[in-house]
Structure 1
Amino acid sequence: MIVGEVMSKKLHTVKKSDSLKKAQDLMVTHAIRHLPVVDKGELLGIITESDIRGAFIGQGRNARKGNSGKLEINNPGKMKVNDYMTRHPLVVVPETHIEDAALMIYKNKIGALPVIKRNKLIGIITIMDMLGIFVDLMGILHSSSRIDVVMDKNPENFEKVSSIINKEGLNIISVGMAPYLKDPTQQVYFFRLDLCETKNVVSKIEKAGFHVISFMD
């Protein structure tokens, strides 16, 4: 799967000359946390909810008392996006694999990646988009059953367990993996199945010599 297949194409953007108030109002109206900053379709930067929050916190720390004795605080309607946006943000292209985009988001602790093509902004992919893909792939919103099996990393064992499940006429929706904390040479395979009774197939998996640590109908 590539970014171009799942990115948001309905874009909300701001100009560098726009005010922080306009940016914040757009975020609230459209329930988003990131706004690309563009000029004639070209990406200049990105401004986020945390950038705006940081600007307001900063102005509070730097506020001073005027002649009236009251704190003078900058007007967010006059504070410009240009002064608070992140310039030269990390970007991806439509052909970028989802796994690579997810790794960029994770490693750099960011919430979104603008998508560009020939230097023009064409979309954006966010951490929530990534979560949605994960939920869909794992079938979490689909009524399902699950069997968690411990086995070593030999692919033949995975094939054996999958074969046992298939021979029972059960459909595997997805398979996840995680390290088995009690033994680093083993892994836990999470088999998510169409909703079914798992007692019989669990018994057959265990008779084949595998350790089922949990199951759910």
Structure 2
Amino acid sequence: MIVGEVMSKKLHTVTKSDSLKKAQDLMVTHAIRHLPVIEDRELLGIITESDIRGAFIDQGRTSGKAKSGNIEIRNPSKMKVNDYMTRNPLVVVPETHIEDAALMIYKNKIGALPVIKRNKLVGIITIMDMLGLFVDLMGIIHSSSRIDVVMGKHPKNFEKVSSIINKEGLNIISVGMAPYLKDTLKQIYFFRLDLCETKKVVEKIEKAGFQVISSMD
């Protein structure tokens, strides 16, 4: 699966001259935490909920020995996105594999990746999009069954197991993959099926020479 199949295409953005208040209001209204900063659809940066919080860390300190001794109160309507956004953020393209995007998010401890094509912003993928994909794959929300099979990476193995499942009249909803740590030449394939009894098909998969490490009705 690639980023272009999962990313959010309905974008909420700001410009560098917009105020922090506008950015904050957009985040609250649309229940989001990240706003790409653009100019003519070209990505300039990204501003996040934590960037806006950070802008007010110093609020309440005295304003540099001001004669009046008044407390400095920052006005978000006068504070510009340009001064607080993250420039040159990490990005992906629509063709980036989901696994690679997830690894970038994990390694860099970020919450979202803008998606660009020909230097233009075309979408955004967030950690919540990734979580939603995982939840869907695992069948946590939908009533479904699952069979986890270890097999060699050659496509013929996948085709053979899929054929066994289909011949039992079972519908494959989705398939996920993960490395098999005990053998780098193999992978674990997670077959999510419409809710069914899996005992019979598991026996046939194992009879065909494949290892089933887990099944769930």
Give the TM-score range, shorter chain.
0.7 to 0.9
Amino acid at match of 1:77: S
SS in 2 for 1:44: strand
Residue 128 (structure 1) aligns with: 128
Alignment equivalent of 1:63, drawn from 61, 64, 70: 61
Amino acid at match of 1:216: M
For residues 40 and 204 of structure 1, what CA distance do their matches in structure 2 show? 57
Distance 1:113 1:145, change over 3 A: same
Q: Deviations over 1:52-90 (max 9, x none)?
A: 122223x14x82376777743423333221111012223
Greater shift in the superposed pair: 198-207 or 114-123: 114-123
For residues 6 and 187 of structure 2, what CA distance do their matches in structure 1 show? 30
Distance 1:43 1:198, change over 3 A: closer
Distance 1:119 1:169, change over 3 A: closer
RMSD of aligned residue pairs (Cα, Å):
3.5
SS in 2 for 1:38: strand
Pairs aligned (count): 213
**Deviation at residue 200 of structure 1 after TM alignment:** 1.5
Residue 174 (structure 2) aligns with: 174
TM-score (norm 1): 0.74
**Deviation at residue 108 of structure 1 after TM alignment:** 3.6
Do the aligned partners of 2:150 and 2:212 also contact (CA within 8 Å) in 1?
yes
SS in 2 for 1:79: coil
**Deviation at residue 92 of structure 1 after TM alignment:** 4.1
For residues 116 and 188 of structure 1, what CA distance do their matches in structure 2 show? 31
Do the aligned partners of 1:91 and 1:113 also contact (CA within 8 Å) in 2?
yes
Residue 16 (structure 1) aligns with: 16
Does 2:75 correspond to 1:75? Answer: yes
For residues 34 and 216 of structure 2, what CA distance do their matches in structure 1 show? 39
Amino acid at match of 2:21: K
Amino acid at match of 1:45: G
Residue 97 (structure 1) aligns with: 96
Distance 1:146 1:76, change over 3 A: same
SS in 1 for 2:56: helix
Could you tell me which runs of 5 or more consecutive residues in structure 2 were left unpaired when the two chains were aligned. none
Percent identical among aligned pairs is 83
Do the aligned partners of 1:139 and 1:174 also contact (CA within 8 Å) in 2?
no
Do the aligned partners of 1:138 and 1:175 also contact (CA within 8 Å) in 2?
no
**Deviation at residue 7 of structure 1 after TM alignment:** 4.0
For residues 105 and 16 of structure 1, what CA distance do their matches in structure 2 show? 24
Distance 1:124 1:179, change over 3 A: closer
Could you tell me which runs of 5 or more consecutive residues in structure 1 were left unpaired when the two chains were aligned. none
SS in 2 for 1:72: coil
Do the aligned partners of 2:37 and 2:47 also contact (CA within 8 Å) in 1?
yes
Residue 215 (structure 1) aligns with: 215
**Deviation at residue 202 of structure 1 after TM alignment:** 2.1
Residue 84 (structure 1) aligns with: 84
Residue 44 (structure 2) aligns with: 44
Distance 1:40 1:196, change over 3 A: closer
**Deviation at residue 142 of structure 1 after TM alignment:** 4.1
Residue 191 (structure 1) aligns with: 191
Does 2:162 correspond to 1:162? Answer: yes
**Deviation at residue 106 of structure 1 after TM alignment:** 4.2
Q: Deviations over 1:127-175 (max 9, x none)?
A: 3334445555666554321122345556655444333323322222223
**Deviation at residue 209 of structure 1 after TM alignment:** 4.6
